[in-house]
Amino acid sequence: MIDIAQLRQEPDFVKAQLARRGVSPSTMDEIIALDAEHRQRLQEAEALRAQVKELSRQVGEANKAGNKDEAEKLRLRSRELGEQESAASEVASQASETLRSKLLMVPNLPDARVPDGKDETENVEISQWWVGKDEGKPFPIFEEHQKKPHWEVGQELGILDLESGAKLAGSMFALYRGAGARLIRSLGFYALNAHLDAYEEIRPPHFALTETMMSTGHLPKSEDDMYAMERDGLWAIPTAEVPLTSMHRGEILPRENFPIRMTAQTSCFRRESGSAGRDTRGVLRLHEFDKVELFAYCLPEQAEEAHTDILQRAESLLQGLGLTYRLLELCTGDLGSASARTIDLEVFSPGVDRWLEVSSVSWFRDYQARRANVRYRTEEGTTAFVHTVNGSALAWARIWAALVETYRQADGTVQLPEVLAPFMGNQLTIRP
């Protein structure tokens, strides 16, 4: 959540920043009014509580003095005020819940570097990379044999069976076979091994409590895009970011522990409820896919370095795979609700002739930590909320597609890059 104290102190600044994200100033005025009402109700309840406490003291003194009539009179007044205090506390609690429900729907304040824009068409390209760019080679020209879409390549080679996936689970579920399945597995090993120098590997549950989903901001805002198991009160995770963000939920951590870096590969589950008719062929948009996530809890002054580190690691993996990619600074209209700043990595896939998003590297300030209540002990002995940073390194379904298209040979085989040799048993040529 946003910092309510900042909203009180700098209402015009907060409203101006959120207006960049399409939040009406009147919405924030409503929240400011709710906050004022909540604090007033709390003060009323506390004042009544203090009166009840004072009357209880006076009852004790009257009893000690043997003044039974006065004690009974004071007791009756204390009971009456106690009932009023209970009612006032209930009103304050309701006001608090209303205020919280409104705040949970308010997005994060965008960083000053985030460009204004209405949607993904106004994201800003930062840079491009391709093999040989540093030596002056031009953007790669792809041959005709590389322009076959991955679903056709996969079917020809017997490594992608979309019909069986649909038979087993419905549309937008993929089934990989043979070398195709091994390639997905190898990509995970490739990435996890590359991150173990600085990130602790975690194998979290693939299901999460509502409280866990609330911590990242996926709930309540994106409920329609999540898979829920109502009977058990659980949700299938859309990303490993969800469990990793809550690893230290409700804790106060020593300052010297930071940054705390973790990585995890999980299956990710998404309804893709808003994508009807888009990217339904192949593996570009699936309800279930594998992804390696990088995550860091950090102090505010460490956030920039943590964000840069995750971004560089994602780039390094793509360069190792020899895939053409670009970096995009997301505009306010395309920025995730919880994010203050996000840089996307997109690979170019010649078979579908498109840039495909394979990673989003995001800085959330203390937005998620406020929801998860993750704090650190400051040098002054007080507590403050940590910052969180995360990014995919990488999401494998689209990498799989880009690899089989980019590395398709004229004879129809696929020749995978050398970095995957240790994980593919040195079998880098995929044949029918």
Q: 4-103 maps to which CATH number? A: 1.10.287.40
Query: Which among 326, 344, 323 has a CA at the least distance from the CA of 401?
Result: 323
Residue 152's pLDDT band, with cuts at 50, 70 and 90, is very high
Q: 120-430 maps to which CATH number? A: 3.30.930.10
Dihedral sign for Cα 109, 114, 118, 121, please.
negative
Residue 280's pLDDT band, with cuts at 50, 70 and 90, is confident
With vertex at residue 385, the alpha carbon angle to CA 380 and CA 390, rounded to the nearest 5 degrees, is 135
Q: Give yes or no for a contact between 386 and 297, defined as CB atoms under 8 angstroms apart.
A: yes
Helix-, strand-, coil-residue percentages of the chain, each rounded to 5:
45, 20, 35
Which segments of the chain belong to CATH 1.10.287.40? Answer: 4-103
- What are the Cα distances from residue 175, in Å, to 98, 110, 162, 281, 318? 45, 39, 6, 13, 24
Element (H, E) at 432: none
Residue 86 reports pLDDT greater than 80: yes
pLDDT tens-digit map of 285-331:
999 999 999 999 999 999 999 999 999 999 999 999 999 999 999 99
Which of helix, strand or coil describes residue 420?
helix
pLDDT of residue 355: 98
Q: Give yes or no for a contact between 55 and 79, defined as CB atoms under 8 angstroms apart.
A: no
pTM for this entry: 0.93
pLDDT tens-digit map of 372-416:
999 999 999 999 999 999 999 999 999 999 999 999 999 999 999
Residue 272's pLDDT band, with cuts at 50, 70 and 90, is confident
The DSSP output letter for 10 is: -
Q: How many beta carbons lie within 10 A of that of residue 57, not counting itself?
A: 12
pLDDT of residue 277: 61
Give the C-alpha separation, 392 to 108, whole Å: 20
Residue 273 reports pLDDT greater than 90: no
Which segments of 255-324 are extended strands (E)? Answer: 260-269, 288-298
Element (H, E) at 127: strand 124-129
Which segments of the chain belong to CATH 3.30.930.10? Answer: 120-430
The DSSP output letter for 343 is: E
